[in-house]
Amino acid sequence: MITKKQLQLFDFIKEYVSENGVAPSFSEMQDYLGLKSKSNVHRLVSALEQQHLLHRTPKMARSISPENMPSGAANDVVQIPLYGKIAAGLPIEAVANETETISVPASMTGNGQYYALLVEGDSMINAGILNGDTVIIKRANQANDGDIVVALIDGYDVTLKRLRKKASSIALEPANPAYETRIFTTDRVEIQGILAGLMRSY
């Protein structure tokens, strides 16, 4: 999983290298991100290295460059539409306006179409999905039992829940014992996507 702050740093480094031929200094990264200490920058860079988005030559200043980035890393970010908020709790009115886009790691996407939604609520916390997260959704109108899905209920309410298929009904199951599983007839629920990943800002 890549956080929003890591992605922000990656985009900055990529653009800086493209314009200057060398990587930014840690002080420049710190200033750009508005961080209080360089140790926070080091942690972000290390996280990007662990995800194979950056490569750094040890003990060499400004050692991140197009030549020693992994092949294809400079293009390892894609733009997808950000539609709005989705409830991880009680359903809220569906947001379908493509008003803006966000950058996400290409590793979070594949064949098909993807979009992003901002999570509002805490009903999926035990699945690692927190209030304020950005979820990456693959468009789909079918899902397997146990998938975490975007479900449209009665044509106007949308929610993020785990899908459980019954003989003649669909159960939308939370990942928080404070919430109850809701059961609907199949004609009331339309699957609009399957969870593909998430990003988190700290």
Among all residues, which ones are annotated catalytic?
123, 161
Rounded-to-integer distance, Cα 130 and Cα 9, Å: 22
Residue of 198, 167, 199 lying closest to 185 (CA atoms): 167
- DSSP-assigned states of every residue in 23-49: PPPHHHHHHHHT-S-HHHHHHHHHHHH
Q: Which residue has the tokens 């290295």?
A: 49
Residue 140, both tokens: 């789909």
Rounded-to-integer distance, Cα 161 and Cα 151, Å: 7
Burial class (CB in 10 A: 0-12, 13-18, 19+), 45: buried
**Residues in CB range of 132: below 8 A, 6 or more apart:** 118, 119, 200, 201
Residue 66, both tokens: 């197009």
Length of the chain: 202
